[in-house]
Structure 1
Amino acid sequence: MKNHKINLGKDLSSKTDDDSLGLFIRRANYNPDVKHTGFVFLDNENSKPIRAHLTSRYEFDRKKLKGYGVLWLDFVSERNAAIITAELRTLALKESDMLYGITNYGGTTFQDGVTIPNPDVRGDSLTCATFVLCMLEQFGFNVVDRDSWIVSDEDTQWQKGMIEILKEHLQPDFYEIQKENIGKVVRIRPEQIVGACGVFDYSPVKYDEACEAGIIVLDELDKLA
């Protein structure tokens, strides 16, 4: 791959003194086809890894990274990493509500521990991958070219299944909005955002390249197991 620089490390093994903020990715124990991603950085007090990520709710926790792959974001300066990690901490302190859903076009922001949905998007919501992407976009890192994205049949099926899994936890009107958007909004997969960050050179990564990078990420992740 052109400009291939994906360096997925096992646990914290690939961290250098210059690395301040990274992404983790792992396969779910219950289903290897299910992947999950989020931010990772080190606690200043004890150098233990902290994960900041979105499942059905925002989670901020200290956990050993056994079975995880980690990609350090070398395009994020130490200063910007400090600003982002401060926001991630504040989101946890204020227990910010984040709506999990498939409808995201960008523009979701995070300010002083408060999640601010895009006011122009009905049902604006986040997945683990779009949470990462929106946070990076907020700080000027337009990692992917959203306009180049394609909704595959597989993505549509994933959206349909995910919304039904979440149905009992969603407000009826919000559920209906998500259902209406199945197959209409793009899905950015965890491996695609991690892969895109691995090849990002300040020019947004297009869909085809993100797909190629995502395959490399999953290959690298399997080698680390």
Structure 2
Amino acid sequence: MKHSRLALADLFAGAPPPRQGSVRPLAPGAALLQGFVHASLPALLQAIEHVAQQAPFRRMVTPGGHAMSVAMTNCGTVGWVTDRAGYRYSQTDPQTGLAWPPLPPIFVALAVGAAKAAGFPGFEPDACLVNRYEPGTKLSLHQDKDERDFSQPIVSVSLGLPAVFLFGGEQRNRKPMRLRLESGDVVVWGGPARHRYHGVDLLAEGSDPLAGPYRYNLTLRKAL
């Protein structure tokens, strides 16, 4: 499905505001915004489909040579990639040699709104990593540290199947809190929480009314 940038932006702009009391503090600099984008789920999934038509999902390879279980793609000025050469941001899709698709305005609008609601006004994302999970896949604990400006927060959007988000400390060995994330939930972390380890536990079997057997995650960042 193809949608104009204006149409996608209008869809999000017309969505109702988050529910009262939906912002749940997790730690200094971190918050869970429950159902923050629930009303915009169809438009967000359509935007993901449009991005994937230009930059297909793929299982990237870690520097150690292992294929990741989670399928990924990107949109924005740069995209996060991993291969034998290491973790980094790239202006081009290594699979096609072309520039990544631009950030859909609806992604920018939700990221700016979520960051502001969590206490980070003025967020200007330039990159979005899109992860697609299938039942039985997971994402190990890791830190987001390939960006240039750590003063900017991370905005993570959950779509599709529910998942258990692992939110730890600044040391990998700290036991993480376990948060059940539903479709439409957004987690924001920055400031003193910016370098916390985080991940996703094994995804359980299920079927979402809109996303089917998948969970999608948008991770919006200021990379440059």
In the superposition, the TM-score normalised over structure 2's length comes to 0.31
Q: Judging by fraction of residues, say which structure has more strand.
A: 2
User: Greater share of helix residues, 1 or 2?
Assistant: 1
